[in-house]
């Protein structure tokens, strides 16, 4: 981690902020990216002088390119790009509007696509780098109906992540591409969901942000393709997809035990 330049989107709070502080304290140089200037400045202060804060809306491609430009101007290179920015929704499939789906795809999928493409333009000439896409357990097991379009966006993100990893494997084996899947995390995610929702921090069995940040920091130091932030999450996904009949699996244990409380994802 020491001296690694790590771009982290969605760094004004939650997982992104915790990861930025962890990277800084481990000797890395975090580049913090988010829309909320005041909160972002507070996180940068916690990280120390080696950190750079860039106020940007990463759902706009030109802003993502500006983040890279500022990171390079300050540090000369970028080693790791973490696509962490995201937003939830509280609306079942039967009530989704065109705008609901567009917002979920723009924030959760296209922002990551922009980050991947901008990072690749820098990584390919160097022949190395690491892209980390923070997905969700709901990107594997869509067990919360009101998180419908969010789950769909994360499923799509997982597909793009895998496709990119396979695309790069032969020619660029030192450019790593990783999916990280948290479950219920104690953040403001639920409060800020489109349509509102319960505060994830008040829900039972939530995962502390520091625990998720530790998992991401671990994969920065030892790259892997696919990471769940708790071993039990991997078991949940494996159990669900190994079922002969998913409809049956969704109606009996252990699937009901996998069902996260509404509003709790990520």
Residues 6+ apart with CB under 8 A from 131: 80, 81, 83, 115, 116, 119, 120, 123, 161, 164, 175, 176, 177, 178
Helix axes 37-47, 14-25, angle to 10 degrees: 30
User: For residue 148, what pLDDT is reported?
Assistant: 93
Say if residues 110 and 59 touch (Cβ distance below 8 Å): yes
How confident is residue 253, by pLDDT bands cut at 50, 70 and 90? very low
Q: So what's the pLDDT on residue 266?
A: 58
Domains in the chain, please, with CATH?
Answer: 5-258 (3.40.50.720)
How does pLDDT run across 156-201, given as a tens digit for each residue?
Answer: 999 999 999 999 999 999 999 999 999 888 777 777 788 877 667 7
> Residue range 84-102: average pLDDT?
95
Please give the positions annotated as active site: 150
Q: Is 125 exposed, middle or buried (0-12, 13-18, 19+ CB in 10 A)?
A: exposed
Q: Is residue 2 scored above 90 in pLDDT?
A: no
DSSP state of 102: H
CA angle 239–178–186, rounded 5-degree value: 70
pLDDT value, residue 202: 63
pLDDT tier, 256 (very low <50, low <70, confident <90, very high otherwise): very low
Of 185, 83, 100, 175, give the one whose Cα is nearest residue 134: 83
What is the average per-residue pLDDT within 201-225? 89
Question: For residue 262, what pLDDT is reported?
Answer: 47
Helix (H) or strand (E) holding 14: helix 14-25
More confident residue, 207 or 38: 38
Token pair 């980050």 is found at 115
The tens digit of pLDDT for each residue in 204-214 reads 677 899 999 99
When comparing pLDDT for 246 and 251, which is higher? 246
pLDDT band at 258 (very low <50, low <70, confident <90, very high): very low
Two tokens, residue 179: 């999916």
Lowest-confidence range among 54-58, 226-230, 231-235, 255-259? 255-259
Q: CB of 39 within 8 A of CB of 112?
A: no
Q: How large is the average pLDDT for residues 231-245?
A: 88
Q: Give the model confidence (pLDDT) of 100-119 as tens digits.
A: 999 999 999 999 999 999 99
Of 182, 181, 179, 183, give the one whose Cα is nearest residue 225. Answer: 179
pLDDT of residue 144: 84
């Amino acid at each position: 981690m020491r001296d690694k330049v790590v771009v982290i989107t969605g760094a004004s709070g939650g997982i992104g902020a915790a990861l930025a502080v962890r990277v800084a304290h481990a000797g890395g140089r975090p580049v913090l990216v988010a829309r909320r200037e005041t909160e972002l400045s507070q996180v940068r202060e916690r990280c120390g002088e080696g950190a750079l804060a860039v106020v940007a809306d990463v759902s706009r491609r030109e802003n993502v390119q500006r983040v890279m430009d500022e990171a390079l101007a300050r540090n000369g290179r970028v080693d790791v790009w973490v696509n962490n920015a995201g937003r939830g929704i509280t609306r079942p499939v039967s009530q989704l509007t065109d705008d609901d789906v567009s917002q979920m795809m723009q924030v959760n999928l296209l922002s990551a696509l922009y980050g991947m493409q901008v990072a690749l333009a820098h990584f390919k000439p160097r022949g190395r780098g690491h892209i980390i896409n923070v997905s969700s357990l709901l990107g594997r097991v869509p067990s919360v109906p009101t998180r419908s379009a969010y789950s769909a966006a994360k499923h799509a993100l997982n597909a793009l992540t895998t496709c990119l990893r396979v695309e790069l494997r032969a020619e660029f084996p030192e450019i790593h591409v990783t999916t990280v899947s948290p479950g219920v995390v104690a953040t403001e995610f639920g409060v800020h969901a489109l349509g509102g929702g319960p505060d994830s921090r008040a829900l039972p069995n939530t995962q502390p942000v520091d625990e998720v940040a530790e998992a991401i920091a671990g994969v920065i130091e030892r790259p892997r393709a696919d990471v769940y932030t708790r071993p039990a999450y991997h078991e949940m996904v494996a159990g669900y997809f190994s079922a002969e009949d998913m409809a049956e699996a969704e109606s009996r244990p252990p699937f009901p035990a996998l069902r996260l409380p509404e509003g709790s994802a990520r």
